Amino acid sequence: MRNLNNRLSSTSSSRKPFSLIIWVTVSKTTSSQELGLKNLQKKIANWLNLKEEETVERTAIQLSKRLRREKFLLILDDVWEAINLDLVGIPRPEHHLGSKIILTSRSLDVCRTMMTDVEVKVEVLTDEEAWELFKDHVGEVADLQSIKPLAGTVCKECGKLPLALITVGSAMRRKMRVSLWEDAINELRMSRPSIPGIEPNLYSSLKLSYVSLQNEKLKSCFLYCCLYPEDYSILISELVECWWAEGLIGEKLTYHDALNRGIALIESLKDSCLLETGDSDNSIKMHDVVRDVAIWIATCAGPESKFLVRVNIGMTEISEVELQSNLERVSFMKNSIEALSDQEIECPKVISVFLQCNSFLHNIPENFLRGFRAVKVMNLGGTQIRSLPISLLHLQDLRALLLRGCNHLEELPPLGSLTKLNILDLHDTSIKHLPEGMDQLTNLRKLDLSYTLNLEFVRAETVSNLTSLEFLDMTGSSYRWLVKQRPPLLYFEIHLQEAHTEQRATLEDLRSLQRLSVLHLSLYDSVKAFEECDVYWIERLKTFRCSMGLTYSPRDIQRLTKYSEKALMQRDLSGDSIEWFICHAASLAFDNCCNLHEILENLVINRVECFTNTKILTLKDAMLNEGSNTQFDLLPNLEELYLDNIGKIKSISVLADRLGLSFPRLETLVVTGCHELENLFYLGVRITSLPKLSKIKVDTCAHLKELFRHVPGSAKEHAVVPKLRAARLSGLPRLQCLCRREESWQSLEELEVVRCPSLKKLPFRTMNGNSIKEIRGDTHWWSEVHWDTDDVKSFLDRHFKEMLDLKASLRR
């Protein structure tokens, strides 16, 4: 379904079978039918940019009016109960010709009740397929004489379900002890979760993967993920910080090492098929069924329930009855809680409390927190609280206080008594100054003050006393970093300085933080401050990000309208220290710089050193005019190059000549929307080959005729792209040639060709055919490709995967 959605969405407007494509994940979120309808209506209304009405009926009228003007495709994913389309406001396809509705569900009864026209059941595997899939994950041990009969029994207990086979197979991978296999069989047969239907079999399989995890802490890390809602992408950094604060990851590790350790644990859980990549590379998800199993383990499978998970169910208040004294973790995340009890509720064992994303919560009563004496992680992010109660200070074991996105929060109580606090997240809050007692938080490891748009004052004493601080993020904060003032020379200067007892924190105070390894800053009119102080202490940091050169603060920029473009253009990149920053950057991005050619010209003329640290270069929305060329490589270690909507350039070699680039280490090349580009590179003078290039993506370049053009008379003994493994080409109507005839592309494994009708020849011969794993494209295009021999065509036909004509398929 995602494939269908993505392909239809990327189809050119002239070929789209639908004027509107809507994807809605329905999920099992509420027990109330009305709340379920409102939730579904809200999601569809968001797609249509419509305002949700006060009642279900009025919203249905608005949705119906809008959808009747469109030829739409509505994809309803993960439907658990039958949906009354009329109540939602969705026109029925039989009355609105040309539109279609597709749904996925784990229940055939849902399909029957909704009167679907066609049902496609995903069958379990055959015995042979199940065994092969199981062996793929178990490894060669499955064929050992002593193990094979037992492995066959374990495979059979998985019920031929792919998820169960993969999960159990991964858990048993390379285990050679007979006793382990016999125990696995017993576990699969003895588990009896009280859930009807197929779920008990699946649960028992998944529980085995959980039982097979290396240690109790890794099991706790896995179960921790079920505190988040279904279909929720969990930020890896946030999850790892919670693990670290709870002590699931070594408390003595540095922040950097703890993050690396957490990522390693996540990869272990991914390898066991218990976690999967989320909506982005820096997030993870739990499969719906896996999450259900985790909740079942944490709340039902043991002698006593230790978790209370009530997330995303539309609850408006917390039941005091459910808050039992034996609980260890509670989550009320993403609800509609309006008020908390002012009674002290005894939960002496609770160590994590999730109340984030309750956007109607305005107040934390004084007595509510008194019963949570052992809490280590308190997440109140995304609420509307304006202050915190004094009872917070009684949480002596608190390690992580997460207030991210509490944009109404203006002040905090004195935090000096929270001496064990490791993480304080105040991102996007409205605080004007740091709370009293901050200088006593000598164990604080991470302080996030990013986008604190009202932050005006930070005491120098506070900063210098945070001796354990390793991570400081002040991206987009309004606080102005200055340098220490010179010693007063005149009497009135001394008098004024004595009168001002509270000293502002300066850049020199940051230098005193010996454990600081990650620093994110925004510098506005104080860019020149770095010209007046020693910046070279920054070299000891592992990560340093600095946005600089804007004349205005974030608050000023918010108020700018017609002058905003001018303000953003007034960037000051002059000065030795600013040059030092650029020289030490691992990644450089020039986005929407109308004077990019001037910046490059300045680099070429004035630079005497190369940017040896820069590995990623991004140029976006700019013009490249003619100018001076340098004779030496300014970017000798460049690994990734991204060009997006760059005008006045017919070949990347123009950029290469200007900056002296030879690309000896380039691994990834992505080019998008460069409509004047005629070839990627012309080869034979400065560049003869791209020895490490492994990935190419070229999209929507209207005039591109060939990827590589060879200068007449140039040497031909070098393979241009000997390491190229994957190439994705789309929207290149004039592309005729990938490379010269002699080039074989011997390492290519994957090729995708979309909307490249003029490409009739591919660089494949018998010598390099064995490396090809998959070629994707339109069947009509594939049928018109010319081959040197029928043997090559016959061989590659086996690796061709059709990219379906979706319009024709849906019409059928």
Q: What is the pLDDT of residues 643-656, one digit of tens each?
A: 999 988 899 998 88
Q: What is the pLDDT of residues 428-446, one digit of tens each?
A: 999 999 999 999 999 999 9
Give me the chain's average pLDDT, please: 82
HSE at residue 28, side-chain half, CA atoms within 13 A, is 10
Rounded distance between C-alpha atoms, residue 762 and residue 760, angstroms: 7
Q: Determine which helix (DSSP H) or strand (DSSP E) holds 733, and give its type and residue range.
A: none
- Among candidate residues 584, 610, 627, the one where a domain is terminated: 584
Structure tokens at 609: 């050193």
Average pLDDT on 534-549 reads 71
Angle in degrees, CA 684, 690, 691, rounded to 5: 125
Domain membership flag for residue 71: yes
97-106, 371-380, 563-572: segment of lowest average pLDDT: 563-572
Task: Point out which residues pair with 705 in neighbouring strands.
Answer: none
CB-based contact 609:660 (threshold 8 Å): no
- Among candidate residues 554, 584, 614, the one where a domain is terminated: 584
- Among candidate residues 584, 602, 634, the one where a domain is terminated: 584
Identify which of 121, 116, 113, 153 has the alpha carbon closest to the alpha carbon of residue 134. 153
Residue type for 495, please? H
Task: Point out which residues pair with 754 in neighbouring strands.
Answer: 730
**Residue that has been written with the tokens 């959605």 in this structure:** 5
CB atoms within 10 A of CB 122: 7
HSE at residue 274, side-chain half, CA atoms within 13 A, is 31
Counting beta carbons within 10 angstroms of the beta carbon of residue 359, is it exposed (0 to 12), middle (13 to 18) or buried (19 or more)?
A: middle
Domain membership flag for residue 419: yes
Task: Point out which residues pair with 283 in neighbouring strands.
Answer: 235
Rounded distance between C-alpha atoms, residue 229 and residue 565, angstroms: 40
What pLDDT is stored for residue 270 in this prediction?
A: 84
Which of 224-233, 297-306, 491-500, 733-742 is predicted most confidently? 224-233
Rounded distance between C-alpha atoms, residue 32 and residue 230, angstroms: 17
Domain membership flag for residue 594: no
Domain membership flag for residue 501: yes
Domain membership flag for residue 33: yes
Domain membership flag for residue 53: yes
When pLDDT is cut at 50, 70 and 90, the band that residue 516 belongs to is very high
Three-state secondary-structure class, residue 682 = strand
Domain membership flag for residue 353: no
Domain membership flag for residue 329: no
**Residue that has been written with the tokens 């494209």 in this structure:** 777
Counting beta carbons within 10 angstroms of the beta carbon of residue 540, is it exposed (0 to 12), middle (13 to 18) or buried (19 or more)?
A: exposed
When pLDDT is cut at 50, 70 and 90, the band that residue 174 belongs to is confident
The CATH number linked to 409 is 3.80.10
Residue % of the chain over a pLDDT of 70: 82
Tell me which residue range forms the domain holding 493: 399-584
Query: Phi, psi (5° rounding) for residue 36?
Result: -65, -40
Q: Is the dihedral of CA 553, 554, 555, 559 positive or negative?
A: positive
Angle in degrees, CA 358, 359, 363, rounded to 5: 80
Counting beta carbons within 10 angstroms of the beta carbon of residue 631, is it exposed (0 to 12), middle (13 to 18) or buried (19 or more)?
A: exposed
Q: What is the pLDDT of residues 245-296, one digit of tens each?
A: 999 998 789 999 999 999 999 988 887 778 888 877 789 998 777 887 888 8
* Entry pTM: 0.60
Query: Phi, psi (5° rounding) for residue 507?
Result: -60, -30
Task: Report how many domains make up the chain.
Answer: 2
**Residue that has been written with the tokens 């230098």 in this structure:** 511
CB-based contact 125:133 (threshold 8 Å): yes
H helices, E strands: number in the chain: 25, 27
